[in-house]
């Protein structure tokens, strides 16, 4: 059950908190307290063997040489000097001051009840208790050493006025408290909120520069208001367990700190502060309040807030982030409440959800939600923030943060978790991604894109937008807008005025990028003043340079003006309006006009229409001006010419073909726009002037021109005879059952050009000499295949060459849309004998302009033996059998054959140099961490890293140095945590199987692969998987990268991975890339 309690913090106060829940009338709710089972090390128990023979004995009634009836008497005796060892022989009740350097041993069974002042020496194996106000005072104004080992500090009085343990103000001693237990056993009858019985733990007064406190391997257990209040100076808190049985107390401090239980609080900053808080378990132990953050090393801890919902606060005056990124949080159903400012932010692990308190408390009371749970956020791996507003108030607080509050900055994401109604205008002024998650925005609401913003809106439903002014669109940018806007996967239903309006009024040097894709626009309410769906415009005289991409949208129902309007733009603007569906009810689909009110043919205008499924597209070849503002598109040139007549301008938007009769009436209004017209057999075209330079005919035809300038020209096509004795080419066209077409042109000398076009438009051109030998092969991948992300080259199956120099080259051309961020998987057919298994030694080589050949390491082999690689642009390839012979591999070796061939062909394993000049595979040899990272680096062709980060233990000349720097920069490598807080690579250490899984999952994420798949690790040794590797191992098992030992069925996660095992996993990984 989630606990919600309102805290009213004052940022500048010297105290952590000011009044609490009642300030906002929020009633705290907490889950029932559950005792943790974590144990403290109790190995310090005293034993007879540890006690020296000359030990001083202290116990009730003891007399004689070397024996005393009280500690006070013993310590006052001249016979007890520094270095003495005192053994308790009974329980004692007395106040005692220990100023000598002695050791007092309770043998694990005796106690001292009273006020113990430990100023020197050591206490061990005993219990300290008290029924009075003071319990324990520890520390000294002298520079000495003080220890407590295996001591139970028992708070027997459980009210605020008693049971206190403190350190000495101005302490100069080095204090070590280890293996101890601080216990308070209240009688609260299960009451956790406003508990009646409680105590403070160990209050740390200000220390001198010479003093220090090491609090190690201890346990706090019971009902405490604060366990370690006011820490200051040099303090180490390590490997302890803190358990609190209460959420808040009654009669708590009234000076500003409130009644909520806290675990650790710090004093105001001082020059000697140095806090190390590592390896602890905080089990619902209370809140945390830091006034000093710059020298606070807090890492490797587990914060459990699954029973009580506590806060973590960094005071703004600390002026430095509180870095909690290397900690684990266990929240259950509770929120992690963070109280911080931009001056001293609390940095959390990537993905850890939290709620921000100050934005909630500073929300005006009229709109403030009942609690802060809707003000969620989380840091991302790259340091940006994803905000999760679950209320309108939270969204507004994040978009327009108050002074010092966390809010949206460049690179951040807003992931909406609620519908929005009547928000007014929400301003996006930074580089932001706004994820709607399907939520609805309605009523008097709109999103304003700021002048320099680069905003992405995704998956938002705008429904019934009726803004009070009547002329604000659902999404709009005006004024000096010169940023970018991407709108994807959104629905605009019944939006007043324009759905999307981009109308900047500055220029002409300004530019704006606009991408609107995969959206649905509809108007279901006839009363709505819907003008346009998409409206992009600048002032007539501004000539704003827009870059516009509007594609794959669906538009329904009629609107008052055009559904899609792009006008008053600069002539050099680049626009692509493609693949959109306009329902028949949309009477004015488009408008395109430039700044002088004449419609403009934009430089790269693509204008295909689509059906409602956005699949069957009709490529429009020409557009014709309708009037001053509007232009219409046509699928054939003949239709466009008929519509244009002699008074309307017409321009080609792609190459056209004519298979009948066409007439260009007014050539001054005809713009070829760099395109051409192909006249098919039997076709003709008439024009007022000679346009033969822009005309083409089929390969077996020739162009015939007749007429003159005065009467105009007529262009026709004549088929060149291929009859007896002709020297002309012979053309054969074959329509294939799969929808493809093969055109073979045979020249008189017997050489051929064979063009094969698939049903999807991908085309191969193979040229052969008169003897039938292939002289060149060129494949042009269609846009449709490129958009699908996969293409199989329509060529004959390649015979792999044993030498790249002798392999045939294939030139592969792809559309400009194929990039490194949006590659296409290319399958190259490979010949193999019937019944033969795939040859895993086959790879693809890339050939550059200078003829240099480079293996593509991430070449996969599919089940049919074909090779698959990833193209990011035009590339010339060769198919080569590149496997290397490894003489040390025997036929009986489990990895012989496929694994060796795959690894050596791709350079994953190059072999170990032997004295005789040969290379060995050494498949049973171990793989170091450096070797494995170098293998991944090889797969990427050894790129340089853009990061300057490094790990201190990587020698500059190590063979893996560049690979380690690259992996660190890509987030594949993070380093091994060392006790001093540093990180090391440990490149010469064996890489374990679970480390391989972690490296590969991070590598897959860096490649953009889907790593969401998970499987149960149901192997006999599943319990041996380290916690940090469980997620990665689950993914690796789910994807089949790890299958377990063939004999034992075990994963052996912490065993070193052999070279052959690593090669096998990488072979599976590369094939997974193309699955």
How far is it, in rounded angstroms, from Cα 56 to Cα 36? 39
pLDDT of amino acid 215:
97
pLDDT digits (tens, 9 = 90+) for 90-143: 999 999 999 999 999 999 999 999 999 999 999 999 999 986 678 899 999 999
pLDDT of amino acid 255:
44
pLDDT surpassing 50 at residue 1042 = yes
pLDDT digits (tens, 9 = 90+) for 559-588: 777 788 777 665 556 566 777 887 777 766
pLDDT surpassing 80 at residue 42 = no
**643 membership: H or E segment, kind and range:** helix 637-644
The residue count of the chain comes to 1075
Cβ-in-10-Å burial (0-12, 13-18, 19+) of 1010 comes to exposed
pLDDT bin (cut points 50, 70, 90) of residue 507 is low
pLDDT digits (tens, 9 = 90+) for 733-782: 788 888 888 888 888 888 999 999 999 999 999 999 988 899 999 999 99
pLDDT surpassing 80 at residue 397 = yes
pLDDT of amino acid 568:
63
CB atoms within 10 A of CB 75: 21
pLDDT digits (tens, 9 = 90+) for 663-689: 999 988 888 877 899 998 778 999 999
Which residues are paired to 825 by β-bridges?
Answer: 790, 870
Peptide bond preceding 508: is omega within 30 degrees of 0, i.e. cis?
yes
The token pair that represents 579 in the structure block: 């693949």
Q: What percent of the chain has pLDDT over 70?
A: 86
pLDDT bin (cut points 50, 70, 90) of residue 7 is very low
The DSSP secondary-structure symbol of 248 reads B
pLDDT digits (tens, 9 = 90+) for 512-535: 889 999 999 988 665 666 678 888
Cβ-in-10-Å burial (0-12, 13-18, 19+) of 390 comes to middle
How far is it, in rounded angstroms, from Cα 610 to Cα 295? 62
- The least confident of 261-270, 414-423, 602-611, 689-698 is 602-611
E strands, 319-439, where?
A: 322-323, 328-330, 337-339, 346-347, 354-356, 375-379, 385-389, 412-415, 420-421, 424-428, 431-435
Average pLDDT over residues 627-642: 78
How far is it, in rounded angstroms, from Cα 616 to Cα 554? 14
In this structure, are residues 87 and 66 in contact, taking their beta carbons and an 8 Å threshold? no
How far is it, in rounded angstroms, from Cα 917 to Cα 212? 61
**1037 membership: H or E segment, kind and range:** helix 1030-1038
pLDDT of amino acid 664:
94
pLDDT digits (tens, 9 = 90+) for 719-733: 775 544 445 677 787
Higher pLDDT, 271 or 115: 115
CA distances from residue 679 to 619, 715, 924, 953 in whole angstroms, order as listed: 18, 9, 68, 71
What percent of the residues of the chain are helix, what percent strand, and what percent coil, each to the nearest 5? 10, 35, 50
Q: Report helix angle 993-1006 to 1030-1038, nearest 10.
A: 80
pLDDT bin (cut points 50, 70, 90) of residue 603 is very low
Question: Among residues 358, 355, 360, which one has the least CA distance to residue 335?
Answer: 355
Which residues are paired to 228 by β-bridges?
Answer: 264
Q: β-strands 810-813, 842-847: how paired?
A: unpaired
């Amino acid at each position: 059950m989630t606990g919600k309690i309102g805290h009213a913090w004052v940022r500048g106060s010297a105290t952590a908190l000011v009044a609490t829940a009642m300030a906002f009338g929020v009633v705290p709710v907490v889950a029932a307290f559950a005792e943790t089972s974590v144990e403290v090390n109790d190995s310090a128990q005293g034993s007879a063997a540890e006690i020296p023979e000359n030990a001083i004995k202290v116990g009730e009634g003891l007399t004689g040489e070397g024996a005393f009836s009280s500690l006070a008497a013993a310590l006052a005796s001249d016979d007890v000097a520094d270095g003495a060892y005192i053994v308790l022989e009974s329980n004692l009740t007395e106040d005692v001051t220990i100023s000598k350097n002695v050791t007092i041993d309770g043998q694990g069974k005796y106690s001292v009840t009273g006020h113990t002042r430990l100023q020197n020496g050591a206490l061990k194996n005993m219990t300290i208790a008290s029924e009075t106000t003071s319990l324990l005072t520890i520390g000294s104004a002298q520079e000495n050493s003080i220890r407590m080992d295996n001591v139970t500090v028992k708070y027997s009085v459980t009210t605020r006025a008693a049971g206190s343990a403190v350190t000495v103000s101005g302490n100069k001693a080095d204090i070590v408290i280890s293996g101890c237990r601080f216990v308070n056993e209240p009688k609260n009858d299960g009451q956790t909120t406003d508990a009646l019985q409680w105590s403070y733990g160990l209050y740390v007064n200000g220390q001198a520069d010479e003093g220090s406190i090491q609090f190690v391997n201890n346990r706090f257990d019971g009902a405490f208001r604060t366990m370690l209040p006011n820490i200051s100076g040099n303090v180490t808190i390590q490997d302890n367990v803190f358990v609190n049985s209460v959420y808040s107390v009654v009669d708590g401090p009234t000076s500003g700190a409130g009644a909520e239980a806290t675990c650790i609080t710090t004093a105001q900053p001082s020059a000697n502060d140095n806090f190390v808080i590592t390896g602890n378990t905080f089990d619902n132990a209370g809140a945390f309040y830091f006034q000093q953050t710059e020298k606070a090393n807090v890492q490797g801890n587990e914060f459990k807030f699954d029973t009580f919902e506590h806060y973590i606060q960094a005071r703004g005056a600390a002026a430095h982030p509180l870095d909690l990124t290397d900690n684990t949080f266990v929240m259950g159903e509770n929120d992690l409440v963070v109280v911080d400012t931009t001056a001293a932010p609390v940095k959390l692990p990537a993905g850890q959800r939290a709620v921000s308190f100050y934005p909630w408390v500073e929300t005006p009371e009229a709109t403030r939600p009942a609690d802060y749970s809707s003000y969620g956020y989380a840091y991302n791996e790259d340091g940006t923030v994803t905000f999760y507003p679950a209320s309108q108030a939270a969204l507004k607080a994040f978009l327009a943060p108050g002074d010092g509050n966390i809010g949206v900055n460049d690179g951040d994401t807003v992931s909406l978790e609620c519908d929005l109604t009547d928000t007014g205008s929400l301003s996006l002024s930074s580089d932001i991604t706004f994820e709607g998650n399907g939520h609805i925005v309605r009523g008097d609401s709109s999103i304003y894109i700021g002048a320099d913003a680069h905003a992405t809106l995704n998956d938002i439903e705008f429904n019934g937008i009726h803004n009070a002014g009547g002329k604000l669109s659902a999404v709009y940018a005006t004024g000096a807008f010169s940023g970018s806007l991407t709108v994807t996967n959104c629905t605009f239903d019944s939006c007043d005025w324009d759905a999307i309006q981009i109308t900047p009024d500055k220029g002409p040097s300004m530019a704006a990028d606009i991408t609107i894709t995969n959206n649905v626009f509809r108007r279901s309410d006839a009363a709505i003043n819907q003008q346009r769906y998409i409206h992009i415009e600048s002032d007539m005289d501004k000539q704003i340079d827009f870059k516009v991409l509007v594609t794959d949208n669906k538009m329904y129902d009629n609107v008052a003006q055009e559904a899609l309007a792009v006008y008053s733009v600069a002539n050099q603007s680049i626009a692509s309006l493609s693949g959109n569906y306009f329902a028949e009810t949309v009477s004015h689909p488009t408008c395109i006009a430039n700044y002088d009110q004449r419609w403009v043919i934009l430089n790269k205008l693509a204008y295909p229409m689509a059906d409602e499924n956005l699949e069957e597209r009709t490529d429009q070849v020409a557009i014709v001006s309708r009037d001053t503002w509007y232009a219409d598109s046509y699928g054939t040139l003949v239709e466009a010419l008929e519509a244009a007549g002699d008074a309307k301008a017409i321009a080609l938007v792609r190459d056209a073909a004519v298979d009948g009769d066409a007439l260009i009436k007014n050539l001054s209004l005809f713009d070829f726009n760099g395109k051409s017209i192909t006249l098919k057999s039997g076709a003709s075209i008439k024009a007022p002037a000679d346009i033969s330079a822009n005309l083409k005919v089929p390969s077996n035809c020739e162009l015939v021109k007749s007429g003159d300038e005065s009467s105009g020209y007529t262009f026709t096509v004549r088929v060149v005879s291929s009859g007896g004795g002709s020297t002309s080419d012979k053309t054969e066209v074959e329509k294939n059952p799969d929808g493809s077409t093969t055109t073979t042109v045979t020249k008189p000398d017997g050489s051929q050009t064979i063009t094969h076009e698939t049903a999807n438009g991908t085309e191969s051109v193979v040229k052969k000499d008169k003897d039938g030998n292939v002289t060149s092969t060129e494949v042009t991948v269609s846009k449709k295949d490129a958009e699908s992300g996969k293409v199989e080259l329509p060529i004959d199956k390649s015979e792999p060459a044993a030498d790249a120099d002798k392999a045939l080259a294939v030139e592969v051309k792809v559309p400009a849309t194929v990039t490194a961020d949006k590659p296409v998987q290319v399958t190259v057919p490979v010949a193999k004998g019937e019944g033969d298994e795939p040859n895993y030694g086959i790879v693809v080589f890339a050939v550059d302009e200078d003829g240099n050949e480079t293996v593509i390491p991430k070449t996969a082999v599919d089940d049919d033996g074909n090779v698959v690689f990833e193209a990011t642009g035009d590339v010339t390839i060769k198919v080569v059998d590149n496997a290397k012979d490894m003489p040390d591999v025997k036929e009986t070796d489990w990895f012989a054959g496929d694994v060796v061939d795959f690894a050596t062909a791709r350079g994953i394993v190059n072999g170990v140099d032997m004295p005789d000049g040969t290379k060995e595979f050494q498949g049973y040899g171990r793989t170091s961490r450096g070797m494995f990272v170098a293998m991944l680096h090889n797969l990427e062709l050894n790129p340089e890293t853009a990061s300057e980060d490094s790990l201190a233990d990587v020698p500059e000349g190590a063979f893996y140095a560049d690979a380690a720097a690259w992996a660190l920069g890509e987030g594949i490598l993070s380093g091994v945590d060392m006790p001093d807080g540093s990180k090391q690579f440990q490149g010469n250490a064996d890489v374990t199987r679970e480390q391989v899984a972690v490296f590969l999952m991070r590598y897959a994420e860096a490649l953009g692969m889907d790593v969401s798949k998970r499987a149960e690790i149901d192997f006999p040794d599943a319990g041996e998987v380290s916690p940090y590797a469980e997620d990665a191992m689950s993914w690796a098992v789910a994807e089949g990268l790890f299958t377990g030992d063939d004999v034992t069925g075990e994963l052996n996660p912490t065993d070193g991975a052999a070279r052959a095992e690593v090669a096998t996993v990488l072979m599976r990984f590369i094939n997974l890339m193309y699955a």
